[in-house]
Amino acid sequence: MAMRRTYTLIEMLVVILILGLVSAVALPRFLRIPRKISTERTLSEIRQVFAESSARARATGQALNLTLDPETSLLTVSASSDSLSQEWRPPMPKVEDSNSRTPIFISAKDTYTLSDSIEWQAEPENYNSEGRIVFSFFPDGQASGPQLYFSSHNSRFRLVVDNITARANIYAED
């Protein structure tokens, strides 16, 4: 008579305990991935709006304002009312015949609606004299604007626009 080897209750409990420990360590990491992806998407969206506004100011030779409404997370692009010492206009090629096309700049959006997950923490010093939060972009590639704090998906960030490169830098705050 051959003796059959079977698993004992203790061996089964040890295996279940090991599987429980592995899942307890790994599961929280997997659950954070969608939140992290959503946060990165939100930050990329903000960077894209600032990059498009800066590129548009350089391409058109016109100073632009990007106005933030912190209640609705709506960013509005408008021509700057401040006059610059010299307005630059891009050179247009001469049209030789009536069949040739004139170049057209790619039109950008005039308003951008950011994610609902963003909560802006605007301070009184962030507002200009008209009571608005405004970032300005200039044809030479420079920019100006306030430093803003915001939170998204339970994380806090600081938005700083580089005055020389007009790049939107977003730093995670503790």
Q: What is the pLDDT of residues 116-155, one digit of tens each?
A: 889 999 899 999 988 899 999 998 899 999 999 999 988 9
Answer yes or no: is pLDDT of 1 > 70.
no
Q: Where are the domains of the chain?
A: 32-80+107-174
Q: Give per-residue pLDDT as tens, 20-76.
A: 998 888 877 777 677 788 889 999 999 999 999 999 998 888 899 999 999 999 999
Give the sheet arrangement for strand 155-161, strand by strand: 118-121, 148-152, 155-161, 168-173
Answer yes or no: is pLDDT of 77 > 90.
yes
Answer yes or no: is pLDDT of 169 > 90.
yes
Write down the pTM of the prediction.
Answer: 0.69
| CATH 3.40.50.970 matches 32-80+107-174 | no
Answer yes or no: is pLDDT of 11 > 60.
yes
In this structure, which long-range contacts are made by residues 34-39, counting pairs with CB atoms below 8 Å and at least 24 apart in sequence?
A: 35/153, 35/154, 38/117, 38/153, 39/152, 39/153, 39/155
pLDDT for 32:
67
Q: Alpha-carbon distance 92 to 56, whole Å?
A: 16
Give the sheet arrangement for strand 133-137, strand by strand: 111-113, 74-79, 64-69, 133-137, 143-144
pLDDT for 154:
87
